[in-house]
Amino acid sequence: MRQPRAILITGASSGIGRALALAYAAPGVRLSLIGRNEARLAEIAAAAAAQGALVSTGQVDVRDRDAMRAWIAAADAALPFDLAIANAGITSGLADAALTEDPEAVRALLATNLFGVLNTVEPLIQPMCGRGLGQIAIIGSLAGLRGLPFSPAYSASKAAVHAYAESLRGRLERRGLIVSLVVAGFVKTPLNDSIDAVKPFEVSDVEAARIIKAGLARGRAVIAFPAALYAATWLARILPPRFVDRLFTRFLVNVPETKERVNA
């Protein structure tokens, strides 16, 4: 089992990222935690430090490419990262009876869920390849396996990071890196609480962090959970598409539109 010592986690101020920070926090571990909310970041930093970790926090917007590059490069130069988890993300969906999402909401979502992942990973590829060592984890979603009619842009953003993770894996593993894609089902977090739907096999953020940490320690290419929902989503991919479309429209799902905007 690999025990990473210098870990970057984006979106560490809440939900899965917060739980991951606490799961890794231990003496001899340096955690570099990125988020925007100063108070929540400070709270998680104090909790992780109480468990013995050395913690630094960055109040950085993952959409800000220059700020991300500068912060990550400085932290990596101080103590090289051996694990980076691109976790920060938001959700958004279609309002009742709406045919399309607000284009501004869509741009904000892609800026976070897609470009935020690129802004996290890109600064580390050269240094990690130079060292021939390192692990990159990208948090995807079951929604990335099959487009959901309630949240088109979210599904698209996750499908994009799935493809990105797979492509990186094929390219970078020959250079000594490990690339892991996390395909998560429902995890009880503030993001998930905002969604009004039946959430089969929902797990806690602590359980999700336990599963992700165990999968990363084994160097798994894909860490997908829960297994039953993962299998059902694969089935949805191979069944006739219009049959699955009709099935989905029977579900009552309300995903509120994000209030995030690119220039907010």
Just list the catalytic residues.
154
Unique residue bearing structure tokens 């979603």: 141
Question: What's the sign of the alpha-carbon dihedral 217, 40, 62, 68?
Answer: negative
Residue closer to ligand NAP by CB (options 89, 147) is 89
Residue closer to ligand NAP by CB (options 1, 135) is 135
Give me the least distance between CB of 44 and ligand NAP, in Å please. 9
**DSSP H/E element including 59:** strand 54-59
- Of 29-37, 74-82, 164-172, 235-243: span binding ligand NAP (CB under 6 A): 29-37
Residue from 15, 58, 123, 226 touching ligand NAP (CB under 6 A): that is: 15
Binding flags for ligand NAP, 122-161, as an x/- string (CB under 6 A):
-----------------x-x--------------------
DSSP string, 102-125: -HHHHHHHHIIIIIHHHHHHHHHH
In this structure, are residues 65 and 55 in contact, taking their beta carbons and an 8 Å threshold? no
Position 13 contacts ligand NAP (CB under 6 A): yes
Angle, helices 205-217/15-24, rounded to nearest 10 degrees = 60
Show Cβ contacts of residue 43 under 8 Å, excluding neighbours closer than 6 positions.
none
Position 36 contacts ligand NAP (CB under 6 A): yes
Position 258 contacts ligand NAP (CB under 6 A): no
Give me the least distance between CB of 192 and ligand NAP, in Å please. 4
Give the C-alpha separation, 17 to 89, whole Å.
10
Position 11 contacts ligand NAP (CB under 6 A): yes
Give me the least distance between CB of 220 and ligand NAP, in Å please. 17
- Work out the angle at residue 261's Cα, subtended by the Cα atoms of residues 255 and 262, and round it to the nearest 5 degrees: 130
Give the C-alpha separation, 179 to 165, whole Å.
7
Position 89 contacts ligand NAP (CB under 6 A): yes
Position 35 contacts ligand NAP (CB under 6 A): yes
Position 90 contacts ligand NAP (CB under 6 A): yes
Position 184 contacts ligand NAP (CB under 6 A): yes
Show Cβ contacts of residue 17 under 8 Å, excluding neighbours closer than 6 positions.
9, 10, 11, 33, 35, 85, 87, 88
Position 93 contacts ligand NAP (CB under 6 A): no
Q: How do strand 177-184 and strand 222-225 relate by DSSP bridges?
A: parallel
- Of 36-44, 77-85, 163-171, 232-240: span binding ligand NAP (CB under 6 A): 36-44
**Where along the sequence are the contacts to ligand NAP (CB under 6 A)?**
10-17, 34-37, 40, 61-63, 87-90, 112, 116, 139, 141, 184, 186-187, 189-192
